[in-house]
Amino acid sequence: MRLYLTALNPTDSVTDGFLPAARSLGCEVTLLTDQPERYTGVETLRTDVRDARSVIDTIARHHPPGAIFSNSDHIQPETALAAAYFGLPGKDWRACLTAKNKALTRQRLAAAGVERVWSTRLAPGEPLPDALCEPRPGGRGEPPQDGPAYPVVVKPREGVASEDVVLAADARELAAAVTGIRARRPGATLVIEEYLEGPLHTLETLGDGHALHVLGGFRTTLGPLPHFVEERLDWAPPGGRLPHTPDSAALEHVLRALAAIGAGFGACHTEYVLTARGPRIVEVNYRLIGDTCDFLLAELLGVPLFEQVLRVHLGEPAEAPPPVSGHGAAVSLIADRGGVVKAAPGDVTEAIGGVRLRHRPFRAPGDVVELTHTNRDYLGVVRAAGPGRDAVDRAIESFRARSPWVVE
């Protein structure tokens, strides 16, 4: 059976996760990408993967497909349309588009009665609405009808990796943030919305269009505002089984949101905040969690997660996850200054006190670092899994003390 995998730039999830998983399942793999020169060891066909017509045409001129799959944020709708054209299992392209477009996500959740978060779009060149220039405070924690109570968050409508996501405390800061983002993204539509304050969590799910299984979730620690850089993720399964984990009401809320969007096939990574008014969705990423946390999730579950995701796209039912004991964490090693990388630990795998630890470098000595206040500032990531949080923390701290990154 031939699996077509659509991709843009190489990621660990694809090169070390899904491609080996496809081979383990006995699939013949063809990778469709606009950057074939960046992939080795797999058949590649140059394709405009942002255009469903191009994807369909390329496949039609090649071998008959058994599955068409992507783990990229950017090309889920196009991949879903191609799978539907060939009559293959896949995601609903409308759900893919709604999840990717943050303005559509807000509209859909409000229309379905799941939640209301004040939000407005700002097209390229469009001035700030008057309500944002002269805000009135909301009553009892609710935003007023014509505009939000500051602070607000401004972000690209289809953004990823916390890029150009900024908190603005007043109209002046908002105007400055919009100006800066537009200088970097002149054609981008922006979303401005109320700031959701509270603990940030993720929910990881896997579905087959009939059953939707909750794999687990993480509690996310962010860096200092006004930016939203993810510094650490700690295993925090839903249901309140561990301290500081979301309760069953929060889990039910997120599942209602996914149902409203239609995100019930394949892997999905949802971020949400436990606010004083209840849980609120930040964004729905209709793919597996990234930044190597997918490998941590697979290790915690003790299952071939990448294979299980592909099996769904091959027409098999989604498997329910096993119970998990122990703790896992992924700590991002973030540059705190610009400069040149002078020293860096390599790709390390080790066991310390019953903890399995892996360090994955994203940079190398000699690389020039320019701070962006996004996930692009990651130097590397340490992920660890073990019997409990204390043991995991000790292992991570020990590694960082022995193997520091040096940027000067």
Q: β-pairing, 28-33 with 2-7?
A: parallel
In the predicted model, is pLDDT for residue 143 greater than 80? no
Task: Give yes or no: residues 400 and 364 share one domain.
Answer: yes
Average pLDDT over residues 174-179: 95
Task: Give yes or no: residues 46 and 151 share one domain.
Answer: no
Q: Which residues are CB-contacts of 174 (< 8 A; sequence separation ≥ 6)?
A: 128, 132, 150, 152, 154, 168, 192
Task: Name the pLDDT band for 224 (thresholds 50, 70, 90).
Answer: very high
Examine residue 101 and state whether it is found in any structural domain, yes or no. Answer: no
DSSP state at residue 47: -
Task: Give yes or no: residues 181 and 217 share one domain.
Answer: no
Structure confidence at residue 52 (pLDDT): 98
Structure confidence at residue 134 (pLDDT): 60
Examine residue 95 and state whether it is found in any structural domain, yes or no. Answer: no
Task: Give yes or no: residues 129 and 207 share one domain.
Answer: no
In the predicted model, is pLDDT for residue 136 greater than 80? no
In the predicted model, is pLDDT for residue 328 greater than 80? yes
Average pLDDT over residues 23-43: 97
Whole-model pTM over 0.85: yes
**Mean of pLDDT over the chain:** 92
Please give the structure tokens belonging to residue 369. Answer: 């670092």
Structure confidence at residue 242 (pLDDT): 46
CA-nearest of 77, 232, 100, 104 to 159 is 100
Examine residue 245 and state whether it is found in any structural domain, yes or no. Answer: yes
Higher pLDDT, 213 or 145: 213
Structure confidence at residue 141 (pLDDT): 45
Average pLDDT over residues 341-347: 95
Helix axes 248-261, 93-100, angle to 10 degrees: 120
Task: Give yes or no: residues 290 and 169 share one domain.
Answer: no
- The answer to which of 308-322, 364-378, 387-401 has the lowest mean pLDDT is 364-378
Tell me how crowded residue 234 is: count the other CB atoms within 10 A of its CB. Answer: 20
Task: Give yes or no: residues 179 and 325 share one domain.
Answer: no
In the predicted model, is pLDDT for residue 22 greater than 60? yes
Task: Give yes or no: residues 314 and 381 share one domain.
Answer: yes
In the predicted model, is pLDDT for residue 16 greater than 50? yes
User: Coil, helix or strand for 243?
Assistant: coil
Examine residue 99 and state whether it is found in any structural domain, yes or no. Answer: no
Please give the structure tokens belonging to residue 340. Answer: 């040149």
Structure confidence at residue 348 (pLDDT): 96
26 burial class (0-12, 13-18, 19+ CB within 10 angstroms)? Answer: exposed
CATH number at 45 reads 3.40.50.20
Examine residue 102 and state whether it is found in any structural domain, yes or no. Answer: no
E runs forming strands in 34-189: 43-46, 67-70, 119-122, 152-156, 166-168
Average pLDDT over residues 100-114: 97
Task: Give yes or no: residues 285 and 381 share one domain.
Answer: yes
Task: Name the pLDDT band for 246 (thresholds 50, 70, 90).
Answer: low
Please spell the DSSP secondary structure of 151-191, one letter per residue. PEEEEETT--TTTT-EEESSHHHHHHHHHHHHHH-TT--EE
Task: Name the pLDDT band for 302 (thresholds 50, 70, 90).
Answer: very high
Task: Give yes or no: residues 171 and 257 share one domain.
Answer: no
Structure confidence at residue 140 (pLDDT): 43
Task: Give yes or no: residues 260 and 390 share one domain.
Answer: yes
DSSP state at residue 38: G
Examine residue 124 and state whether it is found in any structural domain, yes or no. Answer: yes
Structure confidence at residue 375 (pLDDT): 84
Examine residue 221 and state whether it is found in any structural domain, yes or no. Answer: yes
Percent of the chain with pLDDT over 70: 94
Number of independent structural domains in the chain: 3
Average pLDDT over residues 241-268: 84
Instruction: Write down the residue that tokens 């040096």 correspond to.
Output: 406
Q: Which residues are CB-contacts of 219 (< 8 A; sequence separation ≥ 6)?
A: 199, 200, 201, 233, 234, 236, 244, 245
Q: Which residues are CB-contacts of 319 (< 8 A; sequence separation ≥ 6)?
A: 206, 213, 303, 308, 311
Higher pLDDT, 367 or 134: 367
Look up the domain containing 186 and give its range. Answer: 118-194
Average pLDDT over residues 329-334: 97
The residue out of 194, 209, 232 marking a domain boundary is 194
Task: Name the pLDDT band for 132 (thresholds 50, 70, 90).
Answer: confident
CA-nearest of 315, 322, 318, 317 to 298 is 322
Report d(CA 387, CA 182) in Å as an integer: 47
Task: Give yes or no: residues 123 and 84 share one domain.
Answer: no
Task: Give yes or no: residues 46 and 127 share one domain.
Answer: no
Report d(CA 331, CA 378) in Å as an integer: 10
The residue out of 153, 168, 194 marking a domain boundary is 194
Report pLDDT digits (tens) over 162-173.
789 999 999 999
CATH number at 147 reads 3.30.1490.20
CATH number at 240 reads 3.30.470.20
The residue out of 171, 194, 217 marking a domain boundary is 194
Examine residue 98 and state whether it is found in any structural domain, yes or no. Answer: no
